[in-house]
Chain A
Amino acid sequence: MSSAGRIGGMLLAALCCLPALPVAGESAKAPAESAARVANLFYGDALFHYYQNDPFGTIVRILAYDSQDRLGSDRAEARLLLAGTRLAWGQTAAAEADFRRLLDAHALDRVRNRAWFQLARIAYARDEFPRVLQSLAHINAGWGTSEQQGERRLLKALALLKSGKLEPARETLARHGGASLMQHYLSYNLGVLLARSGRLEEAVQAWDEAAFETPRDAEQAALDDLVNSVAGHALLRAGRDRAAATRLARVRVQGPYSDKALLSYGLALFRQDRLEEAIGVWQTLVARDRVSPAVLEARLAIPHALARLGALGQAAEAYQAAIAHFDQRERQLTALLRKTDQDAELQGLLKALAAGQGEEGARVYAPWLYDLFAGNLFQETLRNYRDLQMLRRQLLRWRDAVEPFRLMLAERRARFESVLPRLQAFRHQAETGPLGAQLSALQDELDRARHEDDGAAFADADTRRRLQRLASIRSRIARLPEGPQREALARKARVLDGLIHWELQQALPRRAWSIEKSLRQVRGDLRGLEHGLSGVDALVKRARAGFEGFARRIERVEQRIPAQLRAVESLLEAHEQVLRREMQRRLLAQLQRLALYRTQARYALARLHDKAVSETDDTPAALREEAR
């Protein structure tokens, strides 16, 4: 790795050491505070899943409740939680879009501040340092707890450092105050950048500030190891062996940097001609029986120092032991390389690592691939691999869950359709067409009678009976012989007829109005019935459309599940292939390294033999050189 890349990695490591932020700002605060803030049951339900470390359940709930408009006054909080959870779940692009949506003019300040802070973190992870500074500049000066303000300043100082603005970074660092772990990390990173720009003295000063006099916990001790190791190697490169030895000697023997530190510590002593001490250090390293490059190289360094001491016999033995050791390691490595070709082996290894079984799950590989497994990119990839496996399990569960939906819908539909014939029968009985025609005929008759002043049309039963009786009497009178008696009876009948019709004419307006009212009443009832029947029709139509809608949704979901399953499978396979290639590349590089060590050991051994021969042989040097 280039020095720039290494420094970048260290800075990233420092950022990763920021105290973990709750994924949605303050939502993971103290219980009482959070409990008091949750005003909405559905947001609370999403939090219930979030606090159980169920990011997928949290995201799905917020998406569903938001689209159902159920989040009420906690909507902005819920959207922050959504964006934060997506960010933590590796969906950087989606999270960024979510945070940006929260920045509209109507958003509350606390929401905007938190969104800007998260956007700054996203930009930092992408090495977009000007955007980090821009995002941080949007945050209100007084926002956040002292812890959040500290995190903000750390992010700003790191962004300035990575932009090469050392002095502003130092000023930010100086304003930071206190003696938090973050400040120590900042000092360490400042030292790295100063050393990178050739200002070693200032770098050493920054590293002095970064180190702890007496580390109080594992985290402080680990940082101390890192500082001393990096400082020691920088000093060693600058040829300041004594200072380098002092620094490297402070690295804990049991820490993760100890192999390289011990090797370099031995080298610093060697350069000061403290050969026996150097050999002692390297023997400590070799006794670890590890496969790290530092331990393997110590096997070469020991005979080299022994030869310098003049112990040629011991040096030769040590070289031979080193060659035998390299041969043995090469056989192990070759066998391991073959195993990585087997799909089941690789999948088992990745599953074990993804399940968090760490070195236990990768016991055989870890010694050779420790740097790979510990790297950020590998860890991110492993997380994706684990998430994809989770998505596969989820999709398989859904695939099985959709069929019951279909059955349930079919049953509900069948039940509904079974009720329909009865409904149709009622609908038929209540048909309004004939009733409407009768009503129209009656209205026409009423209009005609009114127009023609036909009082008889409104005669009641008694009047109709009287009229019938009078008609019968007049017909009998007509059959009488002509004469005065018939004439008198006919006159009486005409008078009676006139009387009845006069009564009818008198009653016509009242009776016509009464009938008109009745017809209106009936017409109103008829309209009500028609409306009711059309309501039933609409209900049936709506219910059928509802069933159709559900069926379409189920069908869409059913189509998407296998497509997404295929995509998950394909991505899992692609991850396996890339990781396999990378593992094999690294194992091959180590094989080459072993071959190089062996060549060096053989060459050194041959020179030792030459030297031994030359010291006992009186053949002229020129001839010996020619023979070689």
Chain B
Amino acid sequence: MKTFIFCLLSFVAVSVQAEDELRTLDERTQALKGEVQALGRELFQLEEELLHPSSTQVSVFLSMDVGTLFRLDSVSLKIDGKPVTHYLYTRRELDALRRGGVQRLYTGNLKQGEHELVAVMVGKGPHDRDYRRAASLKFSKSVGPRYLELRIVDSESRLQPEFSLREWE
């Protein structure tokens, strides 16, 4: 009887040798993760500088404040009358936006001068009604990159979503 209870109370632990090996592997894995991240950063910057040099770069960001009055399905962007992107949102992306994430929706190239951005948002508004709204912004592109923000805000007073576009310095 003593024998089997002894067996019961003993566990088969990870062997010391395996534990040491796994610790070493963990350290190597950690170091490699850092190296791949550094490479990722280099590629991220290389791609941006190569495809969208700062002299011509224009980025449009999308942010959402609360987002209870409007459930975004899609956004379409036109610059100077030309469609540049059409984006459909997943539940996970909407959740990320509601929690404070800001989506870098579009990055492209424009010549210096005056331009116009038109954003069309499609989704469900209050009382689950189909909702389609547009916002536009005239902006000037100079030598440096230009950042624009499309904001979707719940207006508590009007109980309606509000859409606005603004330029960032």
Known: A41-B102, A91-B30. A381 touches B37 (CB 8 A): no
Instruction: Find chain A residues with CB under 8 A from B41 CB.
Output: 60, 63-64, 67
Q: Which residue of B lies closest to A380 (CB)?
A: B26
Instruction: Find chain A residues with CB under 8 A from B19 CB.
Output: 377
- The verdict on B50 contacting chain A, using a C-beta distance below 8 Å, is yes
Known: A35-B63, A38-B100, A64-B45. A409 touches B33 (CB 8 A): no
- The verdict on B143 contacting chain A, using a C-beta distance below 8 Å, is no
| B33 x A89 contact (CB < 8 A) | yes
Instruction: Find chain A residues with CB under 8 A from B4 CB.
Output: 297, 300-301, 600
Instruction: Find chain B residues with CB under 8 A from A114 CB.
Output: none
Interface set, chain B 34-59, CB cutoff 8 A to A: 34-51, 59
Q: Which residue of B lies closest to A45 (CB)?
A: B104
Q: Which of B9, B28, B40 contacts A60 (CB 8 A)?
A: B40
| B32 x A47 contact (CB < 8 A) | no
| B12 x A52 contact (CB < 8 A) | no
The distance from the CB of A393 to the nearest CB of chain B, in whole angstroms, is: 11
Assembly CA distance A100 to B45 (angstroms): 26
Instruction: Find chain B residues with CB under 8 A from A381 CB.
Output: 22, 25-26
- The verdict on B73 contacting chain A, using a C-beta distance below 8 Å, is no
The distance from the CB of B88 to the nearest CB of chain A, in whole angstroms, is: 15
Instruction: Find chain A residues with CB under 8 A from B11 CB.
Output: 1, 6, 371
| A585 x B32 contact (CB < 8 A) | no
Q: Which of B76-84, B91-99, B123-131, B133-141 contacts A (4 or more CB under 8 A)?
A: B91-99
Assembly CA distance A554 to B147 (angstroms): 27
The distance from the CB of A309 to the nearest CB of chain B, in whole angstroms, is: 14
The distance from the CB of A592 to the nearest CB of chain B, in whole angstroms, is: 10
* Chain B, interface SS category: helix
Q: Which of B7, B32, B38, B99 contacts A63 (CB 8 A)?
A: B38
| A375 x B14 contact (CB < 8 A) | yes
- The verdict on A37 contacting chain B, using a C-beta distance below 8 Å, is yes
Known: A63-B38, A90-B30, A301-B4. A409 touches B97 (CB 8 A): no
Assembly CA distance A381 to B28 (angstroms): 12
| B39 x A561 contact (CB < 8 A) | yes
Assembly CA distance A589 to B64 (angstroms): 57
Interface set, chain A 365-380, CB cutoff 8 A to B: 371-372, 375, 377-378, 380
Q: Which of B8, B29, B45 contacts A260 (CB 8 A)?
A: B8
| A31 x B12 contact (CB < 8 A) | no
| A593 x B45 contact (CB < 8 A) | no
Q: Which of A181-189, A248-256, A491-499, A570-578 contacts B (4 or more CB under 8 A)?
A: A570-578
Interface set, chain B 65-113, CB cutoff 8 A to A: 65-67, 92-93, 95-104
Q: Which residue of B lies closest to A60 (CB)?
A: B40
Assembly CA distance A53 to B101 (angstroms): 12
Instruction: Find chain A residues with CB under 8 A from B49 CB.
Output: 550
- The verdict on B149 contacting chain A, using a C-beta distance below 8 Å, is yes
Assembly CA distance A510 to B79 (angstroms): 62
| A571 x B18 contact (CB < 8 A) | no
The distance from the CB of A208 to the nearest CB of chain B, in whole angstroms, is: 23
- The verdict on A170 contacting chain B, using a C-beta distance below 8 Å, is no
| A378 x B46 contact (CB < 8 A) | no
- The verdict on B116 contacting chain A, using a C-beta distance below 8 Å, is no
Assembly CA distance A575 to B28 (angstroms): 11
| B7 x A409 contact (CB < 8 A) | no
The distance from the CB of A503 to the nearest CB of chain B, in whole angstroms, is: 58
Known: A593-B7, A600-B3. A405 touches B33 (CB 8 A): no
Q: Which of A6, A50, A68 contacts B101 (CB 8 A)?
A: A50
Interface string of A533-570 (1 = CB under 8 A from B): 00000000000000000100110110011001001100
Known: A64-B41, A263-B8, A578-B21. A301 touches B101 (CB 8 A): no
- The verdict on A44 contacting chain B, using a C-beta distance below 8 Å, is yes
Instruction: Find chain B residues with CB under 8 A from A405 CB.
Output: 46-47, 50
The distance from the CB of A413 to the nearest CB of chain B, in whole angstroms, is: 12
Instruction: Find chain B residues with CB under 8 A from A89 CB.
Output: 33
Interface set, chain A 402-461, CB cutoff 8 A to B: 402, 405, 408-409
14 contacting pairs across A/B (C-beta < 8 A): A31-B98, A41-B59, A45-B101, A47-B102, A92-B30, A233-B9, A297-B8, A372-B14, A408-B51, A553-B42, A564-B32, A567-B32, A574-B28, A578-B21
What 4 A-B pairs are tightest by C-beta distance, nearest first? Answer: A44-B102, A48-B101, A34-B100, A51-B96
Q: Other CB < 8 Å A-B pairs besides A1-B10, A32-B65, 6 of them?
A: A41-B102, A48-B104, A53-B92, A91-B33, A93-B27, A387-B29
Chain A interface (Cβ within 8 Å of chain B)?
A: 1, 5-6, 28, 31-38, 41, 43-45, 47-53, 56, 59-61, 63-64, 67-68, 89-94, 233, 237, 260, 263-264, 267, 270, 293-294, 297, 300-301, 304, 371-372, 375, 377-378, 380-381, 384, 387-388, 391, 394-395, 398, 401-402, 405, 408-409, 550, 553-554, 556-557, 560-561, 564, 567-568, 571, 574-575, 578, 581-582, 585-586, 589-590, 593, 596, 600
Chain B interface (Cβ within 8 Å of chain A)?
A: 1, 3-5, 7-15, 18-19, 21-22, 25-30, 32-51, 59, 61, 63-67, 92-93, 95-104, 147, 149, 168
